[in-house]
Chain A
Amino acid sequence: MSIAGQESASAVQLPAVTRRKRPTVAQLFLRDWVVIAAVLFLILVIGSALTADLLVKLGVLFDPLAQDLLARNKPPLFAGPKGLHLLGTDQLGRDLLTRLIFGGRLSIGISFVAIVVSSLIGVTLGLTAGYRGGRLDDLIMRLVDIQMGFPQMLLALTIIYAVGPSITNLIIVLALTRWTAIARVTRASCLSLRESLYVEAARSLGASHLRIVLLHILPNISSTLLILISLEFGRVMLSEAGLSFLGMGIQPPDASWGLMLAQGRAYMSTAWWLVTFPGLAIALTTLCTNLLAGWARGISDPTYRKAM
């Protein structure tokens, strides 16, 4: 760092930092209440999604498909004949909280599978391109460039309409639209490690290419990748919601957050909860993953961490 930079930026902070013992990750975590809240919220959402069927059996939640046309569009805290509807009921008298949890199960599940698939494609191709270099690198990166030039959203809509909206097709389209960014970052990080001393050492000890890539390079770029992947997860969630909202994603009677928004739209002025809660669910879930990713980026960067 420049002398001048220290002078202007850290004249006050420097002594304080050196006096303090460097905090561990756990300590940093507990210090940041925003991150704690984010993690708790994600645990709540994922936990309820995973145990949704059990909760219905136990009678905590309602049957997600059971209609009650006498109790249509009832506001939050409505006490119906079958119990208390905490977030009200929807246009067919179904319990909104229940639908929200089942919708979350599909929305999160689909986005999760899609991001796993696109990470597998992106990381594999990125590592191949970065490690092998040469012709193969050119080919893969050209492919990435070409796809990045596509109008993604219009193409996704078109493809899904062509092959028919189903969960599998939705996952495939979402996975195929997001692998490029992951491949690019993987390649760039792999390139910088390929010539590093410890990779050289492993190579001279006779390690196979596969071993070098999987055991020496991949672990060292994994934190960068994990952060990128969680940011991408947020984008996939929003794309899924968008496609479902436009009727090209999850089909009724299944619930997903985007679809619930689309269905609630007609009752927007009389039943605000139908639109408000699914939207909040999407926004908060994406927000929490993004916050977590941002926090993790801060932690994994030593210069930033020291100052946290």
Chain B
Amino acid sequence: MVRYLAGRLVQSLFVLAGLTIVVFVVSRQIGDAARLMLPLDATEDQYQAMREHLGLNDPLITQFLHYVWGLLRGDFGISLWQNVPAMDLVISRFPATALLASATVAFALLLAFPIGITAALKPRSIFDRMSTVVSIFGLSVPPFWLALIFITFFSVHLGWFPTSGYGGLQYLALPMLALAAQSVGRLTQVVRSSMLDVLSSQYLTTARSKGLRERIVLIRHALRNALLPILTIAGDELIGLLNGSVAIEFIFGWPGIGQLTLAAIQQRDFAVIQACVMFVAVLVVVVNFIIDLLYAWSDPRIRYA
């Protein structure tokens, strides 16, 4: 198991290294930061001084090495616009993103388990077919459209929730619901199919023939073994939400990393862009690693391999 996890860890390092190069090359293409920061009537001398100050005149490889050296020391550069360390900005936005993503996955699981299990217990019943169509519909609806519809209906017409902002539960509800549609769709399908796989296995018959009650059979024996694939997909959902809720954060004015990235891109603030992307990448690596751990913990075949 140690070897398995070590292998995964090395792979994560490759991911981060590859990403560092891609992001660095890309963000140098974005445009002339010095030109952007100065007023329009700045003289050529001031412009050159600014370029020198920002280190933009150095050869690309020097800039890159400088950058990597900074990364290794935990220094992701200074935000060109706010003049604070870029990583501090990202970290200050992290709780909002984490809250939204984890609330969405938790909510989705809460719906997916009962629906998926009920559907799996009676395959091809009306309920099963309905749940399939509904979950495919959830998968197909663009979340940002759903967000706009929700705002129009629940906030503007009914006045139940605020249209945007960050704060208590009433602010969380709409962005969470808009994001959850996709997760509910995917997770319901996974719960259903992994339950179906397990339900036809022999050990369930053994459990039943031992005289165990059906509820115990389903929860202790079936659900527990169906949990692994569900866990994996739930982790994937979480990862997807951590880096994919840009549009939702933008619509709801949710002060998360996605919104910060979008703003940084518009201001050509590449220290912040890099910090955002790298931070989320590390987050993805960490979540993946935790999933691997859970996997190994719950499956003896991996643990002892």
Contact check, B145 vs A261: say whether CB atoms are below 8 A apart: yes
Nearest Cβ distance between residue B258 and chain A, in whole angstroms?
7
**A71 partner residues in chain B, CB cutoff 8 A:** none
Interface residue? A5 (CB, 8 A): yes
**A287 partner residues in chain B, CB cutoff 8 A:** 136-137, 140-141
Count A interface residues, CB 8 Å.
50
- Please, how many angstroms separate the alpha-carbon atoms of A108 and B100 in the complex? 31
Contact check, A269 vs B261: say whether CB atoms are below 8 A apart: no
Interface residue? B1 (CB, 8 A): no
**B261 partner residues in chain A, CB cutoff 8 A:** 154, 157-158
Q: Identify the closest chain A residue to B185 (Cβ).
A: A290
Contact check, A162 vs B29: say whether CB atoms are below 8 A apart: yes
Nearest Cβ distance between residue B238 and chain A, in whole angstroms?
13
> B261-280 toward A: CB 8 Å interface, digit per residue (1/0)?
11001000000010011001
**Residue of A8, A9, A242 contacting most chain B CB atoms (<10 Å):** A242
Interface residue? A146 (CB, 8 A): yes
Interface residue? B132 (CB, 8 A): yes
> B114-126 toward A: CB 8 Å interface, digit per residue (1/0)?
0000000000100
Nearest Cβ distance between residue A244 and chain B, in whole angstroms?
10
**B132 partner residues in chain A, CB cutoff 8 A:** 294
- Please, how many angstroms separate the alpha-carbon atoms of A268 and B139 in the complex? 24
Q: Identify the closest chain A residue to B189 (Cβ).
A: A294
Nearest Cβ distance between residue A257 and chain B, in whole angstroms?
9
Interface residue? A172 (CB, 8 A): no
**Residue of A34, A146, A154, A242 contacting most chain B CB atoms (<10 Å):** A154
Nearest Cβ distance between residue A185 and chain B, in whole angstroms?
15
Contact check, B277 vs A155: say whether CB atoms are below 8 A apart: yes
Contact check, B11 vs A145: say whether CB atoms are below 8 A apart: yes
**Interface SS, B side:** helix
Interface residue? B151 (CB, 8 A): yes
Interface residue? A60 (CB, 8 A): no
Q: Identify the closest chain A residue to B243 (Cβ).
A: A151
* Stretch of A48-56, A91-99, A196-204, A274-282 on the interface side: A274-282
Contact check, B140 vs A146: say whether CB atoms are below 8 A apart: no
Q: Given the known A-B contacts A154-B246, A162-B27, A162-B29, are A283 and B133 also in contact in the complex, defined by CB atoms under 8 Å?
A: no
Interface residue? B288 (CB, 8 A): yes
> B123-157 toward A: CB 8 Å interface, digit per residue (1/0)?
01000000011001101111011101101100010
**Residue of B148, B151, B243 contacting most chain A CB atoms (<10 Å):** B148
Q: Identify the closest chain A residue to B248 (Cβ).
A: A242
Nearest Cβ distance between residue B94 and chain A, in whole angstroms?
14
Contact check, A157 vs B265: say whether CB atoms are below 8 A apart: yes
Contact check, B142 vs A246: say whether CB atoms are below 8 A apart: no
**B205 partner residues in chain A, CB cutoff 8 A:** 2, 4-5, 7-8
Nearest Cβ distance between residue A197 and chain B, in whole angstroms?
28
Contact check, A291 vs B136: say whether CB atoms are below 8 A apart: yes
Q: Given the known A-B contacts A4-B202, A291-B136, are A154 and B15 also in contact in the complex, defined by CB atoms under 8 Å?
A: no
- Please, how many angstroms separate the alpha-carbon atoms of A238 and B242 in the complex? 17
Interface residue? B293 (CB, 8 A): no
Interface residue? A1 (CB, 8 A): yes
Interface residue? A22 (CB, 8 A): no
Contact check, A146 vs B15: say whether CB atoms are below 8 A apart: yes
Contact check, B265 vs A149: say whether CB atoms are below 8 A apart: no
Task: List which B25-41 residues lie within 8 A (CB) of chain A.
Answer: 26-27, 29-30
Interface residue? A307 (CB, 8 A): yes
* Stretch of B16-24, B51-59, B105-113 on the interface side: B16-24
Nearest Cβ distance between residue B193 and chain A, in whole angstroms?
11
Contact check, A275 vs B244: say whether CB atoms are below 8 A apart: no
Contact of B139 among A34, A161, A269, A290 (CB under 8 A): A290
Task: List which A217-248 residues lie within 8 A (CB) of chain B.
Answer: 234, 238, 241-242, 245-246
**A279 partner residues in chain B, CB cutoff 8 A:** 141-142, 145-146, 148-149
Interface residue? A124 (CB, 8 A): no
Knowing that A158-B261, A265-B251, A291-B136 touch, tell me 19 more A-B residue pairs with CB under 8 angstroms: A2-B200, A7-B205, A142-B11, A142-B14, A146-B14, A149-B15, A149-B288, A151-B242, A154-B246, A154-B280, A155-B19, A159-B26, A241-B145, A268-B156, A275-B149, A279-B148, A287-B137, A287-B141, A307-B124
Residues of A within 8 A of B (CB): 1-2, 4-5, 7-9, 34, 142, 145-147, 149-155, 157-159, 161-163, 234, 238, 241-242, 245-246, 258, 261, 265, 268-269, 272, 275-276, 278-279, 282-284, 286-287, 290-291, 294, 307
Question: 7 closest pairs, A vs B, by CB?
Answer: A279-B145, A4-B205, A149-B15, A151-B243, A286-B140, A287-B140, A162-B29
Q: List 23 A-B contacts (CB under 8 A).
A: A2-B205, A4-B202, A4-B204, A5-B201, A9-B200, A146-B11, A149-B12, A150-B18, A154-B243, A154-B258, A157-B246, A158-B23, A161-B30, A162-B30, A241-B144, A246-B247, A268-B151, A279-B148, A284-B140, A286-B140, A290-B140, A294-B132, A294-B136
